[in-house]
Amino acid sequence: MSPTEPVRKGAVRKGDAVKSRMAVSMLELIQRQGYAGTGLNAVLEHAGAPKGSLYFHFPGGKEQLGVQAIALAADQFTALIRECLTTDPATELGEAIESAIDALAELMAASDYTLGCPVSVVTLEMGNASEALRTACTDAYDSWAALVEEFLVARKVAPAEAKLLGSAAVSLIEGALIISRARRSPRPLRDAGASLRSLAGAAATPKESR
């Protein structure tokens, strides 16, 4: 008997759910134990997925699953940045930056400093070993820098300066996340936030007023 249309749709939804769970599990395990330390059997067990589903959804194996996990991390951090760095011109510049830093500090403290940015983890481990993973990490960083750039341009910062500061902001925060984990303290993140607040405030000040 041929499957009916509702059954086919249900099967697609179930398959998508399994694929999504595997990406979420891969991301969580990368954060805890790194990319190299994350085995595919551990991902399947964590996701509660059947063994045959891995290469069905990710024919490229671990690398493809890693790329999907990085894309998921990029989306999650993008949502966090968008929530904090609203483009509403009424939001004070320093307040928005402080809000973003507070959110990141709370996430790290809640994990007892065991979780950091999974994109930086993969970059450090696999940046020279996998072009697909390196590209996925680059795309994530670029997307976050673009959001900061958009936020600054909305506050009358010159586009060229906003682009430079967007890149600097991502570099500062990514480095601060690593040092915060090493020190088990939010202080490096707070310091990065204070520096960003100062840089962004100076950029938003008309040149004739400086």
Distance CA 121, CA 23 (A): 16
* pLDDT band per the 50, 70, 90 thresholds, residue 100: confident
* pLDDT band per the 50, 70, 90 thresholds, residue 2: very low
Give exposure, 3-32, as e/b (b: 16+ Cβ within 10 Å): eeeeeeeeeeeeeeebbebbbbbbbbbbbe
Cβ count within 10 A of residue 65? 24
Query: For residue 127, is pLDDT > 90?
Result: no
> Do 60 and 131 meet the contact criterion of CB atoms below 8 Å apart?
no
pTM, entire model: 0.84
Domains contained in the chain, CATH given = 5-209 (1.10.357.10)
Q: In the predicted model, what is the mean pLDDT of residues 45-70?
A: 93
Query: For residue 6, is pLDDT > 50?
Result: no
Determine the pLDDT at residue 179: 94
* pLDDT band per the 50, 70, 90 thresholds, residue 92: low
Distance CA 115, CA 123 (A): 15
* pLDDT band per the 50, 70, 90 thresholds, residue 14: low
